[in-house]
Amino acid sequence: MRLILTVTLALLSSVAGAQYKGKVFVDNNRNKTAEAQEKGMPGVAVSDGQHVVRTDQDGNFNLPGHAKTRFIFVTVPAGYKLADKHYIRTEEKLKAYNFGLLPDPASAGTSVKMLQITDTETDKYNDWISNLRNFSKKQDISFIVHTGDICYEKGLNFHASQVTAETLGKQVFYCIGNHDLVKGAYGEELFENLFGPVYYSFDAGPAHFIVTPMRSGDFQPSYTVDEVIRWMKNDLAATDRNKPVIIFNHDLLTYSDQFVLKGEKDSINLNENNLKAWVYGHWHNNFVRKSDKTGIQYISSASPGMGGIDNSAGQFLSIEIDKHGVKEIKPHYTYLHKHLVVNTPSGRDMVVIKDGALQINANIYDSETTVKSAKSIIYDEKGNQVAAASLAANTDWNWSGQVPVTKLSKGKSLTIQTEVTFNDGQQHIQKQEFVLPLNPAPLKSKESNSTHLSLNWTNNVKGSVWKANPLVADGKVFTATIDDANNLLCGVTALDAKTGKIAWHYKTRNSVKHAISYDGGTILCTDMEGFTYALKASTGTLIWKKDLGMKSLPGYVSGGIAEKGIYYTGSGAYFQALEVATGKTLWINKEWKGGEGTPEKMTIAGEVIITGSNWQSLFGHDRKTGKLLWERKDDGLRFRSSTGVYQNGKLYITGLNTLLIIDPLTGKNIDKVEAAYEFKVMATPLITDKYVVMPTAKNGVVAYDLKTLKEVWNRPTGNALVYSAPYTGPESGTVESTVVKHGNQLLFGASDGYFYMVNEDSGMVLQKLNLGAPVFADPVVVGNEVFVADFAGNVYTVKIN
C-alpha cells in the first residue's frame, strides 16, 4: 500500500515557508520561457530531491528544499515531453524554476514504447548511435533510457554531447553506473553537471518510471540509500497507485521475488507499490526472466556497441509497456543495414528440392527497422518470369518459401530476384543466379581429388541458435533455441537427420544457450535460470526437470556435459553432478562461487572435470566427488570464454592472449604460447596430428605447429555481422565456432555469416558458403556430412563430396 505523506502531497496552498518557487507550463512558442499567455499545468509532480509536491491549478509550485538540495526536477507527465531539461540546478539568484513542456503523442495512449541501452562505455561515435536515432524515429518510440556505465570522464562528456534528446530526437534519461562515479568533490559530481539528479521519475503512457542510482562505485557518492528511499516514498505517494511502476537502475536490486530496498535506517517494499519491471545493465549480458510468484520482469541487455562479457550479442531493447506492465520486449542487433542473403537457391551448391518444390531461404535484417514483407521472383535465361513466391517469417532474421519444380528448367541458369519491403517504406532488391540440378546429378569426376561442399537440406527451428551446436543421435539432429526477450521461443528441437523435418519441440522456461548433451536415449540441457531438463530423445517427453538452485546472477550460459550416466552442469554454488536417470544430485560444489557468466563448455579430462567462472578462475574438480583440486587465474585464465579439449593426457585451453597446455591433475602448465591474438571466443582448440587450431575474437583462425607451438598460418575472416566476443566491435573478424576436421580440410562457421572450408596446412580458403547469419555454434561432422546451425535459427546439412 502506498504511503501517504501529507507534507509531500500538499498543494501549493499548504506548503509553508517554501524556498523554491516555479511553474510548469505548456511552452507553446518553444522558447523555454514561461510567458503570461502560456497555460500552466496543474497536478504535475515536482521535487527538490526529497519532498514531492504537485502543481496547483495554474501550474505553480513551492518546495521547502532540504540540506542537500542541488536540483529542482519535474516528473514529466504522460503525453508530454520536455522543452528543455527535466531539472534546474538551484542557485541563490534564481527566483523561479520554470519547466516548459510540449505535447508528445508518442508518450500518450494506453501503451508506450521505449528503448533501453546500457554499458556503452565509449567516447567514440559509432554506427550504433545512428541505429538508435533512426530506429526511434521510425518506430514511434517515446523515450530512451541509458541504464548506466557511460564510463569515466571521457565517456560521460561524449554522451552528454552526442547521445542526447537533441541528437537522437527523443527524450533521453540516464542512470548512473558504478563507472560513472568518478573523481570529484563527490562521486556523482560530474554526472550531475552533465545529466542532472541521479534519481528522478517521469510518466509515459499508463506507467510511472523511476530512475534510481547505483548505491556505490569507483568513487564514493554523496547520496545515501536512505535518502533515495525517502524520496521514492514521497514520489510514489504522489503517484496514482494503479499505475504500473517500472524502475531503472544500473544493477539488479535482487534476484528474489521480493524487491525490498534497504538502507541503514529505512526501507521500502516495492512489491507493495505495483512494481512490474526492473530494467538494468551492469552484467553485459542478455537475460530476461519473470517471477512466477509476483509477475515482476527482470530485464537486462548487453551493450549496443559491442559484445557482452559472456559473449552475448550486442543489442538494444525495445520495450512496450501497457497498464499491466511489460507487454513485449524485442532485441535489436546493431550495425546492419538492409542486410539480405538468399542462401538457397544460390549457384550450384546451395539448392534444395523438397517434396517437388524448390526451397527459398533468406536471412534478412536491418538494425533500424523491421521487415514488412518479402517475395522472390524467378526468371529464366531469357528474362521471362517463370515462378514467384511470397516468403513467410520464421524468426526476426529468417524468411522462407517455395515454388514448384515443375515450373523450372533443370541444368540451366536461372535468376532469383528477392524483393524486401521494410516497415520504414524502403525496399531492397537482390538478384543472383542458380542452377537446378539435373536428375540424376552428374557423378563427381574420378580425376578430381578436391573436396566440395553442397547443401543437402535446411530447415528453421523458429528461434535463434546461440552456442547449441547440432547434436546427432538416434537418427535425429537436436539443437536448442534462445529468446532473450519474452521467453517464448526458447526450447529444444529435434529434426529428422535425413530430411530436416521437425520431429518435436520442447518449450523450456528460459533460453538454452549452450550445448545440449545426450546419454543413453536422453537429451539433457540447462537453461539461463538454472533449470535442468531431461527429455526422451525419441519423443521430446519430459523425463524429469530440476531447479539447480540458482539464487543470484549471472544467468547460466555454460555448457554441461554427460558421460556414463552422469550429467555435470551448473555454476558456482549450484555446480553439480546429476544422475541422468533420475535427476538426483550426486555431489554439489561448496568451494567457490561468484564471478561472471562463462560460455565455455565443461571438459572431462580423465578423472577431472574442468569448468570456470568468468573474471574469476579456471577450476579443476574431482569428477567423482566434486572436490576442488586446483584453480588458476593467471595467464589470462580468469577471462573465461573458450572451452578446453583433453587429448593425450593434456588439457589444451586458452586464456585472454595465451594458448596453454595444462596437466589436468595439477593445473600446472606443461607449455604455453603468448599470442598476438585475443582468444575470448566460445570456441574449443582443435588438435590435429600437426597443428593446434584456434579461433580468435578479431583475426579469424590461427594455427600453431603442435610440436613447436610456433604460428604456421592465420586465416582472417570478414567483419562480424553481430558482435559477440567481449568488448569487440567494428571491425572484428570473429570466429566463435570451433574448427572441425574432415580429411585434410578444416571446416568452421564465422560471425561474418560464412561457412568456411580451408586447407589444413596453409589455411587457404577452398570454399565458403554465404549463409547470411552469424554462426556461433560448433559444426558437427558425421561421416560425409557436416551439420551447421546459424543465429537465425537455420539448421543445415552440408554434404562433403
C-alpha cell at 566: 552422469
**Assigned domain for 774 exists:** yes
Q: What is the pLDDT of residues 319-374, one digit of tens each?
A: 999 999 999 999 999 999 999 999 999 999 999 999 999 999 999 999 999 999 99
Q: Which residues contact 67 (CB under 8 A, 6 or more apart)?
A: none
The H or E element spanning position 193 is: helix 189-195
53: domain CATH number is 3.60.21.10
CA distance 592 to 707: 35
CB atoms within 10 A of CB 174: 25
CB atoms within 10 A of CB 33: 13
Residue 7 has pLDDT above 70, yes or no: no
Name the domain count of the chain: 3
Same domain, 247 and 202: yes
Same domain, 327 and 347: no
pLDDT value for 16: 39
Same domain, 271 and 409: no
**Assigned domain for 576 exists:** no
Q: What is the pLDDT of residues 262-302, one digit of tens each?
A: 999 999 999 999 999 999 999 999 999 999 999 999 999 99
CA distance 497 to 787: 9
Torsion sign, CA atoms 491, 495, 501, 504? negative
Can you tell me which residue has the cell 542510482? 213
Residue 656 has pLDDT above 70, yes or no: yes
Residue 132 has pLDDT above 60, yes or no: yes
Lowest mean pLDDT among 24-38, 389-403, 643-657, 781-795: 24-38
pLDDT value for 445: 44
**Assigned domain for 461 exists:** no
Domain limits at 147? 6-333
- Label residue 1 by pLDDT band (50, 70, 90): very low
CA distance 732 to 151: 22
Residues paired with residue 268 on neighbouring β-strands, in sequence order = 261
Q: Which residue has the higher pLDDT, 150 or 9?
A: 150
pLDDT value for 4: 38
CA distance 317 to 323: 20
Which of 308, 333, 358 terminates a domain? The answer is: 333
Residue 443 has pLDDT above 60, yes or no: no
pLDDT value for 775: 98
CA distance 323 to 175: 24
CA distance 697 to 682: 9
CA distance 65 to 60: 16
Residue 164 has pLDDT above 70, yes or no: yes
Same domain, 737 and 782: yes
Which of 269, 304, 333 terminates a domain? The answer is: 333
Q: Average pLDDT in the 217-222 region?
A: 97
Q: How far apart are the first and last CA of the chain?
A: 70
Buried b (16+ CB within 10 A) or exposed e, 476-514: bbbbbbbbbbebebbbbbbbebeebeebbbbebbbbbbb
Same domain, 127 and 174: yes
Residue 557 has pLDDT above 60, yes or no: yes
C-alpha cell at 455: 547443401
Same domain, 284 and 350: no
**Assigned domain for 441 exists:** no
pLDDT value for 54: 98
C-alpha cell at 730: 567494428
CB atoms within 10 A of CB 397: 26
* Average pLDDT of the chain, as a whole number: 95
Q: Report the Cα 400 to chain-centroid distance in Å.
A: 25
Torsion sign, CA atoms 585, 586, 590, 595? negative
Q: Which amino acid is at 747?
A: L
Same domain, 160 and 62: yes
Q: What is the pLDDT of residues 505-541, one digit of tens each?
A: 999 999 999 999 999 999 999 999 999 999 999 999 9
SS3 683: coil
Same domain, 302 and 408: no
Which of 435, 457, 480 terminates a domain? The answer is: 435
Q: 91 vs 24, 48, 133, CA distance in Å? A: 18, 13, 34
Residue 448 has pLDDT above 90, yes or no: no
Contacts of 267-271 with C-beta under 8 Å, sequence gap 24+, read 267/229, 268/229, 268/232, 268/233, 270/245, 271/296
**Assigned domain for 654 exists:** no
- For the chain, the maximum distance between any two Cα atoms, rounded to a whole number of angstroms, is 99
Q: DSSP string covering 52-112, please?
A: EEE--TTSEEEE---TT--EEEE-BPTTEEESS-SEEE--TT---EEEEEEE-GGG-SSEE
**Assigned domain for 787 exists:** yes
Same domain, 184 and 212: yes
**Assigned domain for 232 exists:** yes
Q: Average pLDDT in the 475-500 region?
A: 97
SS3 765: strand
> Residue 730: which of 740, 721, 739 has the closest Cα?
721
> Residue 779: which of 794, 764, 801, 765 has the closest Cα?
794
Q: Sheet holding 325-333: strands in order across?
A: 171-174, 143-146, 111-117, 315-322, 325-333
744: domain CATH number is 2.40.128.630
